[in-house]
Amino acid sequence: MPPKSKAKSGSSAPREQPLALRGYLIAFNLVSFFGWVLILSTLVKHLAVGAQMPSYPIVFSSKVLARFRPLRVFLTSTYAHVPEPLGELLRRASTTMMSLGSLVAFVQSLAILEVVHAALGWVRSPVPTTAIQVASRLFMVWGVSERFAAASGSPWYASMVLAWSVTESVRYPFYANALMGQESEGLLWARYTLFYILYPLGAGSEAMLIFSTLPSNLPPKGWDLRSYVFLALFTIWWPGLYVMYTHMMKQRKKAIGKGFWGDKRAHEKAEKRREQVQKAARDVQKKSK
């Protein structure tokens, strides 16, 4: 499904948390943040200059998940029908999973803990919403990308991971700051603005990856129950994007107001200044009596 909305685990925590619990939640968000930043940086380098030597986190995640990830031969298209620079970019995008698929699977699977956090009441996120959001991501990783060669060798995988990694590189430090009682206007703006691009990019890529696993011929020849289920998912993915997109637009208005940069803070400051002026005027009147 589209990148996650406000109701994720770690987004807001109950008041008066024990220090150890708050420290754990901060550490969890920071570890997740660094994982997604590593994914983002590796992806950008891969798309820019091609495959790189695997870093230690990639090697580690490959070893940890080796028993769960199927052995496969990665097949990619030559993209000879498009201009060479675009063709080279598409070829690199098609080999993204070969280079960092294990790290994506590892870091995304850590999000299971977010459901646990919500279920234990450590954060105020609703359990059903958090579970659905995490499950949709895990479905794309383990039910689609890791299972079907057509998806693992698709350039849509790279654009999906790009949208996910940018989203999470903002979301996790935003939550960590909230747990530490800090607030960053830059992170707040990014949290409620970048979705305009990242939602269509992420959800569209997810839908196209699901579509890539369908049989090439029209039904019913070669179609099984799984194919019809995936076709239904592909169909409902788009209205799901619309619902999440409009929901985030409403959340943005509440969080930062209208306009590209948001005007809520400016209005709040103006109101605070007005109250200060009024209070000063009342104090002057009292002294003059």
Backbone angles phi, psi at 153, to 5 degrees: -105, 20
Say which of 206, 228, 245, 271 is annotated catalytic: 206
Tell me the residue length of the chain. Answer: 289
Indicate which residue of 199, 245, 268, 275 is catalytic.
Answer: 199
Q: Locate tokens 């968000």: which residue?
A: 29
DSSP 7: -
- What are residue 261's phi and psi, to 5 degrees? -90, -10
Respond yes or no: is residue 168 known to be catalytic.
no
Q: Which two tokens stand for residue 165?
A: 């990694």
Contacts of 25 (CB under 8 A, 6+ apart): 10, 13, 17, 117, 122, 123, 179
End-to-end CA distance of the chain: 66
Q: How far apart are CA 92 and CA 83, in angstroms?
A: 14
| 199 noted as active-site residue | yes
Catalytic positions, written as ranges: 199, 206
